[in-house]
Amino acid sequence: MKYLILTLALILSFAGCMRKSPQLVWSEEFDNGSQLDTLSWNYKYGDGCPNVCGWGNNELEIYTDDPRNVRIENGVLVIEALKTDSVWTSARITTQGKQTFTYGRIEFKAKLPSGVGTWPALWMLNDKIDQIGWPAAGEIDIMEHVGRRPGVIQSSMHTQSSSGNTINTGMIDLPTYDAEFHIYAADWNKDRITVSVDGQEYYTYQPEEKNKDTWPFDSPFYIIINLAIGGNFGGPVSPDLTRARMEVDYVKVFQ
């Protein structure tokens, strides 16, 4: 009898593990020829004017959908910032209104640019950002890197209670950020958001008191990939910098 009980316990335990195992619910492998899948992605355009010139951060780039700035090469998304006649162009793509997620594991495999003044980011915004406004709607910065601090990967959560130079920030050193692809991920549930690089967790956001000011993260959020130049966080741009290249192999969401 005791062996039967033990066997049943093992079966139930295994079944429980199977139920809890995250499943892939959406992925972008960037294998749709040379163009983005516009059923999932949008392009951002311009410099943010007239409402938020410089994208609210005094950034220098103008976003385009020009293949020189954003394209797919051999199954990899390439976002390339270019300086032409003192004008910077780059790209930002989003899944706003097309692919949104509440909770789960959001995972990017990416290789980052180098150069003082570069500011690549993998992040998320509330799908109702236009109605609610920032920072009340919330922002999840899964990965940010600025070229003036080479190899320092940063993740931040922006809320009504702390935004901009937010205290809700963690960092990790990654010397090969620009030489190799790495996996940047956020594991997000109703209680906390934990970020990691290549499986190494380095920051968890879990406020002691959860309210609309500290936790706007129970709503659908969309994905953003961009490469900014300069700005409040990116800092002064090296006069020798004329181009910078960011590559993303895939984006995956598990729930």
* Beta carbons within 10 angstroms of residue 99's beta carbon: 20
* Beta carbons within 10 angstroms of residue 157's beta carbon: 27
Q: Please identify every residue annotated as catalytic.
A: 139, 144
Are 42 and 23 within 8 A, CB to CB? no
Residue with tokens 């600025």: 146
Distance between CA atoms of residues 112 and 122, nearest Å: 10
Region class of 115: left (phi > 0), else alpha (psi between -120 and 50), else beta: left
Q: How many residues are present in the chain?
A: 255
Distance between CA atoms of residues 75 and 70, nearest Å: 13
- Phi, psi at 56, each rounded to 5°: 75, 0
Are 237 and 229 within 8 A, CB to CB? yes
| DSSP H helices in the chain | 2-20, 129-132, 231-234
